[in-house]
Amino acid sequence: MPERTKHAMLDRLKLPEEVAEILAGCRSLLWVNAIEDFQTFFAALKDKQQAVEYDVPGRGTVQEAFVCRVKNGISVNYRESYMRRRDPDSMLIGDELPTDKVRFQDVYSRDFSPIREETFRWLRRQDLAAFAFLAGQKECGIPSIALVPANAWFFAFGLAMLQGIVDLSKAEKKFAPRCFLYVAPPFRHLHFDGKQRVVHRRTRSTYEIFSYNLYPGPSAKKGVYGALLHFGEREGWVTAHASVVQVVTPYNIKVTIMHEGASGSGKSEMNEHIHREYDGSILFGSNIVTGESMHFVIPKGCNLRPVTDDMALCHPAIQKGNGKLTVADAEHSWFIRVDHIKEYGTDPDIEARSIRPSEPLLFINIDAQPNSTALLWDHILDEGSRPCPNPRFILPRSIVPDVTNQPVSIDIRSFGVRTPPCTREKPSYGIIGVFHILPPAVAWLWRLVSPRGYDNPSITDTEGLGSEGVGSFWPFAAGLQTRFANLLLRQFVDSPKVQYILCPVQHIGSWRVGFVPEWIAREYLARRGGARFASDEISESSLPLLGYQLEKLIIEGFSFPKSFLDPSLQPQVGREAFDEGAGILRDYFTRELKPFISDDLDPLGRRIIDCFLSGGGTADFEGLIEHESLLTED
């Protein structure tokens, strides 16, 4: 960009001096005002594959990723398998403001400031691509700016798809960013032993994200999420980790469902149509012990109107005061994982949108060659010739059929848990039935602990029943855990007309079921018009954490065996294994909830946790948060 044009863009920005110096002094600057401006990079690819590489002192040239143009967009693959999914320990805090997270100084025994200054010096020597965006929704978004090395333009392209672009050439006044994202990939090797590290630095008025790696998950995606959480923490609102869908039944009943949970717990899948076999039937699951399988039939599924995929903005400006939580999408595009699509025809809707899109898409961890068509089931291979468990693509909301662009009020909040198989020989916490109905107080507890769960595909390997914490967004937040717990609790208290359910993902007892339980819950509850039941339709679970279980589940004439509603009835599980699994959950909740107990916790929250720790029953939890009864009049 010519110097006079560069300075013309700087005149449209109100920047801190150190940021203005980077943009004014960098070797060259491509300022992006529209997604079409990336065509410069697209054209340069032609028929070749671009290696994204950097000179690292002491290491020589290090290749980070390979980029190629495909017929349906851009394909990106990383040299290291480790870089193909988010490291749960990637976040570090580089400031002195209050936090419950690990600080940079805690790990590296030094202040972050010299690395920050070194990052700025490095950026000043680069060819850069930069753009402005509003983090979150347009009407209440956070003014933000991204500075990215030009050879890592695919990262900027992905972020621009996810959060949109502000066209500064049309701005009537100077754009004053409050959030800043800086990308410096070589620092991963210079200072962090090759690990993914994203340093978050807060001031009283700004939020800085220093991304020292090129996988967008912990930075372009969750880093920006962290900024939204920070400003929400200061101002008293939350961006929920959730997908939202309006479900319209064949009988024109409308129910809006919000599905929350840790990464891999079925948020994107809640917006997918239920998967069918070639004969039109639906595979419920397969028994891992006996090998038997069960199918059922729903002649016509509900129509889906997607609202959000992963980040639901719960800003006070959009609340309707109707006893329900109102949300809007905090993203312009969705970062969709497709590990479940292993062959053509698995999910015709998503496959069709990705193969011939109306605008270029970004594919990550998909094996594609220049000028080929990137196919969602062609997952890149990790070491040992194993398919990468975290293939992704970025899907613009604008090309999603029937997408809803207005804020919506929630009828049902669902929470997903990745569950392992549970058998007599190997008891586990895979004891959740097709779905359970929860008192609000119990639903709040599930969000406080947010189990990462079994075989999570979105992050690097972890063992045991780990936790993602409050609302499952805690891995992305920089502030105080108890503060977010209080904000979530206020949501529950202020939304007395919302009902709550719990869904397993992957296994029910000895049955491998994938995401089918949440699809069944969606179809069934929409047909009922919500989660209210007659007293003889539900009963208290023997484990209060599971609230109420169904006595029967019938959809379009098909009656599900009761052993799928209460896994202790499965011959391969039994009561003893169920009770041992219940003990695993109780111990896990006890361990994860105790750190929340402090003088800073809302007194109501303390009573709810005390109720659990003292062995309270379902009825005890019911009396703690006032809400619309889940029982209909008999």
Alpha helix ranges (H) inside 66-173: 104-108, 113-124, 153-163
42 vs 286: which has the higher pLDDT? 286
Residue 404, in any domain of the structure: no
Q: Which of 490, 500, 497 is nearest to 415 (CA)?
A: 500
| Contact yes or no for 155/122 (Cβ under 8 A) | no
Q: Are residues 422 and 319 in the same domain?
A: yes
Positive or negative, the CA dihedral 156, 157, 161, 164 is positive
238-248 vs 392-396, strand pairing mode: unpaired
Q: Is there a single domain that holds both residue 228 and residue 276?
A: no
Over residues 109-131, the pLDDT tens digits come to 999 999 999 999 999 999 999 99
- Which of 344, 373, 399 is where one domain is finished? 399
C-alpha to C-alpha distance for 618 and 384, rounded to whole angstroms: 48
Tens digits of per-residue pLDDT, 254-288? 999 999 999 889 999 999 999 999 899 999 999 99
The answer to whether residue 461 scores a pLDDT higher than 60 is no
Q: How many distinct structural domains can be found in the chain? A: 2
Same domain, 266 and 192: no
Same domain, 442 and 385: no
pLDDT for 364-409, tens place per residue? 999 999 999 999 999 999 988 899 999 999 999 999 999 999 999 9
* Confidence band for 4, pLDDT divided at 50, 70 and 90: very low
User: Residue 30: its pLDDT value, please?
Assistant: 93
On whether residue 417 sits in a domain, the answer given is yes
At a CB cut-off of 8 Å and minimum separation 6, what does 445 contact? 545, 589, 593, 608, 609, 612
Here the tokens at position 270 are: 């809640």
Answer yes or no: are the C-beta atoms of 233 and 470 closer than 8 Å.
Answer: no
Site of tokens 């491509």:
30
Residue type, position 610, single letter: D
CATH of the domain at 416: 3.90.228.20
> Containing domain of residue 267, as a range?
239-325+410-531+570-622
User: Are 254 and 110 within one domain?
Assistant: no
Give the whole-number percent of the chain exceeding pLDDT 70.
97
What are 538-579's pLDDT values in tens digits? 999 999 999 999 999 999 999 999 999 999 999 999 999 999
Domain containing residue 205: CATH number: 3.40.449
Is residue 351 one of the residues assigned to a domain?
Answer: no
Phi and psi at residue 78, to the nearest 5°? -100, 145
- pLDDT of residue 2 exceeding 50: no
Is residue 506 a part of any domain in this protein?
yes
Helix (H) / strand (E) element for 413: namely: strand 412-418
Question: Does some domain include residue 228?
Answer: yes
Is residue 627 in some structural domain? no
DSSP 386: P
* Amino acid present at 48: K
Residues 457 and 588 in one domain: yes
pLDDT exceeds 90 at position 634: no
- How far, in Å, CA of 334 to CA of 332, rounded? 7
- Structure confidence at residue 587 (pLDDT): 96
Residues 391 and 493 grouped into a single domain:
no
Residue 320 has pLDDT above 90, yes or no: yes
What is each CA distance from 136 to 33, 179, 224, 399, in whole angstroms? 18, 12, 9, 19
Q: Are residues 586 and 523 in the same domain?
A: yes
Burial letters 595-630, b for 16+ CB under 10 A, else e = ebeeeebbebbebbbebbeeebebebbbebbebeeb
Q: Same domain for 478 and 605?
A: yes
371, 399, 427 — which closes off a domain?
Answer: 399
Q: What is the pTM of this model?
A: 0.94
Q: What three-state secondary structure class fits 149? A: strand
What confidence tens digit (pLDDT) does each residue in 327-376 have?
999 999 999 999 989 999 888 889 999 999 999 999 999 999 999 999 99
Let me know whether 66 and 90 are in one domain.
yes
Same domain, yes or no: 289 and 175: no
The confidence score (pLDDT) of residue 460 equals 55
C-beta pairs of 86-89 under 8 Å, 24+ apart in sequence: 86/196, 86/215, 86/217, 86/218, 86/222, 86/263, 86/458, 86/459, 86/460, 87/195, 87/196, 87/218, 87/459, 87/460, 88/452, 88/459, 88/460, 88/462, 88/466, 88/475, 89/195
Question: If you average pLDDT over every residue of the chain, what do you get?
Answer: 94
Are 497 and 613 contained in the same domain?
yes
The pLDDT assigned to 464 comes to: 62
405-459 pLDDT, tens digit each: 999 999 999 999 999 999 999 999 999 999 999 999 999 999 999 998 787 665 5
Would 180 be classed as within a structural domain? yes
- The reported pLDDT for the residue numbered 554 is 96
Residue 549 lies in a domain: no
